[in-house]
Structure 1
Amino acid sequence: MSNIITTIPSHIKAWIYPEYGKTQDILKFDPNVPIPLIKDDQALIKVVAAALNPIDYKRASGNFKSFDIPLPAVPGYDVAGVVVKVGSQVKKFKVGDEVYGDINENAIRNVKTIGSLAEYTTAEEKLLAHKPNNLSFIEAASLPLAIITAYQGLERVEFSAEKSILVLGGAGGVGSLVIQIAKNVFGSSKVAATASTAKLELLRELGADLPIDYTKEKFEELPEKFDVVYDAVGESERALKAIKEGGKVVTIVDHGNVSAIRFALTSDGAVLEKLQPYLESGKVKPILDPKSPFPFSQTVEAFSYLETNRAIGKVVIHPIP
């Protein structure tokens, strides 16, 4: 793959938004964006594939404008690509390495002006990991933000083998990985998960012992209660009725409930490295939406699709010019 590296250009193609609003209204293709400069602890990456995340359109809509960088900005957190240049302090990677990661350590503060929806982007060495050999760039791009969120959320509630878990939103980008990590990394005694009728078979394939059709059953009324509920949909109020005495609810969705543990990831290449054996053995698999990948030219359509909340697993953009 390293043969894609030629001369590094001074200007690149990217999707940008010059103002806040709905992605369909504000995202513009710009063929002439200055290439980002790398700092000493960063690598410059030729982007091969990038995944979309809800944080992208929430940021673009101005939800975090009090913390945000000056516009225009290029969206995109998840990247898979090839290192084309490294800063003077970078030890772990060299030119030609295939890498992946979430390029923003914090999702809303100090984000990169040039995100991953561009021909080239930058990331700190500590945020990147070598791409597992058995994964395509498309598969690798789908993972970082979601898999780190899944793993760190379970760590946050001190999850362990003897505990049971209910995953709300088990077919989504984060939920599909929580099921697999709870089962195959932590060795959970019982994994339950919710999805709509058409997605129940996927929950079984991911390793859920108890798939729950949320269109027909209220999970909080089940006789069985759980040690942990991982809420990836924003149902923390109901989730509190589904835990055992002393159980915990962890949520990645903004909520007003103080009893649930609100959690946001810190991007970390070490988590990707820790999970590498599970990815390489196939015990944890990336889940791509059947419509993925969208070509770079259809990035706006890909965002529109993601915003319907009907995607299964991840929406990925590839190839990037």
Structure 2
Amino acid sequence: MTNYDKKGTDLDVREIPTLVPEEDEILVKIIAAAVNPLDNMIIRGEVKLIVPYAMPLVMGNEFAGIVEKTGKNASRFQPGDRVYGRMPLKKIGAFAEYAAVKESAVASIPEYLSFEEAATVPLTALTAMQAFDIMNVRAGESVFISGGTGSLGAMAIPVAKSLGLHVYTNGSGDNEERVKKLGAERFIDYRKENYADVLSDVDHVLDTLGDRELPNEFKVLKEGGNLVSLRGLPNGRFARRSGMPLFKRILYQLAGSRYDRMAAAKKQTYDFLFVHEDGSQLDRIGRLFDREHPLETSIDTVFTLDEVNAALNKVKQGKSKGKTILKIGEQ
């Protein structure tokens, strides 16, 4: 198995014994893993207050592979099954030849997706589902997805549409046709107009831009509406929802108090989202799409396992037109 240890900003490739799955785990032969900004954030120590990873650490959060072995109490999958998922928060490790994963964290790969395509799905799919669950959306309501032209928007827009929502988003004009095909009813070209000047009374906002745009996003949100942020700061609501101890609840309540005050002005709510593993939600995603209306996937570059640092650097630079993938195993 290949292991990674943080040395400065680079990762080392090491051989370690193949893991033995615990009773509620499955051993997965990793065929492909996606490289995400989250991986660089973990290396830089930016999530240590949310998940305090100990080093050395096997890196990698998102994968697709084949079930190799099952634990004594794991019965949903059989050896040979194609599965994908987001690694459990407390036990990541997708940048490896094998990973032991709780079976509750994974789902069956839709048959029309390759392993490389499937590896692009879990983080964005789960982010969309968990955001809409927090919002408690209902058919007929509206949602503004800020900066919805990237990989998250490619997943969140059709998911929102399938839930019966009216979807609005913004971005550069050359993405308008593609985004509308995904299900956005209204596209706002940021070069021509500011969404804060043309939208109002939106039921929900999914923020992907962070601090500089949050005041405008609260402005377009209706009184009593919900805003879920992927880029803001955690707050007390996030800490309570995550079951964190009292001292962290107090810490995050202070950290996110500015956003809570913005929300309180119009009786709105602010929630921070750090996506967690959930195989049942991935199953729901799989049922929302089929071969006729498939999951939207986009791959920019495929690297080998030995090229992991080049892959991480590419993601760090931004400007990708799809996911960066590590090709690890053979089918």
When normalised by structure 1's length, the TM-score is 0.85
* Equivalent residue for 1:262, pick from 255, 272, 278: 272
* Equivalent residue for 2:2, pick from 4, 13, 28: 13
- For the structure 1 residues 145 and 282, does the alpha-carbon distance in structure 2 shift closer, same or farther, using more than 3 Å as the test? farther
CA distance in 2, matches of 1:224, 1:239: 10
Letter in 2 for 1:43: I
2:63 corresponds to 1:85 = no
Cα distance, 1:166 vs. partner? 0.9
**Match of residue 294 from structure 1:** 303
Give 3-state SS (helix, strand or coil) of 1:307's partner. helix
**Match of residue 242 from structure 2:** none
Cα distance, 1:310 vs. partner? 2.0
Give 3-state SS (helix, strand or coil) of 2:179's partner. helix
2:19 corresponds to 1:36 = yes
- For the structure 1 residues 170 and 282, does the alpha-carbon distance in structure 2 shift closer, same or farther, using more than 3 Å as the test? farther
Identity across the alignment (%): 29
**Match of residue 59 from structure 1:** 42
Q: Deviating runs (4+, > 4 A) in structure 1?
A: none
CA distance in 2, matches of 1:225, 1:297: 50
Give 3-state SS (helix, strand or coil) of 1:246's partner. strand
Letter in 1 for 2:13: F
* Equivalent residue for 2:196, pick from 199, 205, 220: 220
2:88 corresponds to 1:111 = no
2:117 corresponds to 1:143 = no
2:155 corresponds to 1:187 = no
Cα distance, 1:316 vs. partner? 2.1
2:30 corresponds to 1:50 = no
Give 3-state SS (helix, strand or coil) of 1:73's partner. coil
CA distance in 2, matches of 1:197, 1:135: 29
CA distance in 2, matches of 1:123, 1:271: 16
Q: Deviations over 1:227-265 (max 9, x none)?
A: 111112213222101112322211112334122221223
Structure 2 regions of 5+ residues with no counterpart?
A: 234-255, 264-269
- For the structure 1 residues 158 and 93, does the alpha-carbon distance in structure 2 shift closer, same or farther, using more than 3 Å as the test? same
- For the structure 1 residues 319 and 196, does the alpha-carbon distance in structure 2 shift closer, same or farther, using more than 3 Å as the test? farther
Q: Deviations over 1:150-187 (max 9, x none)?
A: 01101111112111111112122322211110012x02
Cα distance, 1:284 vs. partner? 5.0
Structure 1 regions of 5+ residues with no counterpart?
A: 1-11
* Equivalent residue for 2:176, pick from 173, 182, 200: 200
**Match of residue 271 from structure 1:** 281
Q: Is the 8 A contact 2:86 2:122 kept in 1?
A: yes
CA distance in 1, matches of 2:275, 2:184: 24
Give 3-state SS (helix, strand or coil) of 2:317's partner. coil
- For the structure 1 residues 212 and 223, does the alpha-carbon distance in structure 2 shift closer, same or farther, using more than 3 Å as the test? closer
CA distance in 2, matches of 1:247, 1:64: 28
Letter in 1 for 2:6: P
Q: Is the 8 A contact 2:24 2:102 kept in 1?
A: yes
Q: Deviations over 1:254-311 (max 9, x none)?
A: 334122221223311111112222232443523214x233333332222222223323
- For the structure 1 residues 301 and 199, does the alpha-carbon distance in structure 2 shift closer, same or farther, using more than 3 Å as the test? farther
